[in-house]
A = this chain, B = another copy of it.
């Protein structure tokens, strides 16, 4: 949740004057989304979301994200649609930030997803992977194995403040994964952050995906590993193999995993636990001035990483041939 930037009346009106959406009727900060400032925008033309892109989103990456949302929506993936200004551009500037208006997407994110929801998430993830196959722009994943040492350089020296011995444990894991990380797996555009708060449901039906601001090129199965981490652990820390099975089955209903993807899944899930452990650690140790969001506990992902270390094969996630 976040509204980091104050928008003055004059600035808002000047910005909206570039759009064909009629008069502004309401403008309210939304307490969701960690990275950017989001506002509910009611215009005569309807309800929209106005996003101001903050710190972690690089300006140069925005055309990739905006283009991807347009591309996916054209191929039936329900996601927010960028609304172009009269000059045809979906990206503008407001209050010193890059800003975009996207369509308002109905749906609720689930605070307590069940196995049947995980199945639909797996399916939607696979559909997104397929729909992105002919998306031409490229964006390397800065938060995959190549980017972790840089994160560890920032967070490592103070990691033991969070838990004694953490720095050593992370360093060892980095070294271990470097030796076993796969190099040749089916890949393409992945969501890379498909947590429950980024998936909307209407009743029990998945209704749309949001927040493509970590999307990038990487292994499809790595995206599945992220989702196993994000959806299939219980509040008490245990892995729910029923949810994992539902998710993997859902995924395979749309896109069959190759045997080397199945084989690599434990390492990929393990790496994705390390990825969130590292970014959360950086955030935990560097809460920005005036932040309205409590940073998330990094140790949740330490526990998940340890779980994956003990996984023998994809069967432990619920995969079956």
Binding site for B on A (CB under 8 A): 1-3, 6-10, 12, 23-32, 40, 42, 47, 104-108, 110-112, 202-203, 290, 292-294
14 extra A-B contacts, CB within 8 A, seeds A9-B110, A29-B30, A292-B292: A1-B3, A1-B292, A2-B31, A7-B111, A8-B111, A9-B108, A10-B112, A23-B203, A26-B106, A26-B107, A28-B30, A28-B31, A42-B47, A290-B294
Cβ contact within 8 Å between A26 and B112:
no
User: In the complex, which of the residues A23, A108, A203 has the most CB atoms of chain B within 10 Å of its own CB atom?
Assistant: A108
**6 closest Cβ pairs, A-B complex:** A29-B31, A25-B106, A3-B31, A31-B31, A8-B111, A26-B106
Interface of A is mostly: loop
Cβ contact within 8 Å between A112 and B8:
yes
Q: How far is the CA of A10 from the CA of B6 in the complex (A)?
A: 34
Tally of this chain's copies: 2
Across-interface contacts of A106 in B (CB, < 8 A):
25-26, 42
A32's partner among B28, B42, B293, B294 (CB-CB below 8 A) is: B28
Q: How far is the CA of A20 from the CA of B106 in the complex (A)?
A: 19
Cβ contact within 8 Å between B29 and A1:
yes
Q: How far is the CA of A101 from the CA of B139 in the complex (A)?
A: 44
Q: How far is the CA of A112 from the CA of B10 in the complex (A)?
A: 9
Nearest-Cβ distance from residue A284 to partner chain B, whole angstroms: 16
Q: How far is the CA of A25 from the CA of B29 in the complex (A)?
A: 19
19 A-B contacts, Cβ less than 8 Å apart? A1-B3, A2-B31, A7-B111, A8-B112, A9-B112, A12-B108, A25-B106, A25-B107, A26-B105, A26-B106, A26-B108, A28-B31, A28-B32, A29-B31, A31-B31, A31-B292, A42-B47, A42-B106, A47-B47
User: In the complex, which of the residues A106, A110, A294 has the most CB atoms of chain B within 10 Å of its own CB atom?
Assistant: A106
Nearest-Cβ distance from residue A235 to partner chain B, whole angstroms: 12
Known: A8-B112, A292-B292. A30 touches B40 (CB 8 A): yes
Q: How far is the CA of A32 from the CA of B38 in the complex (A)?
A: 13
Q: How far is the CA of A293 from the CA of B29 in the complex (A)?
A: 13
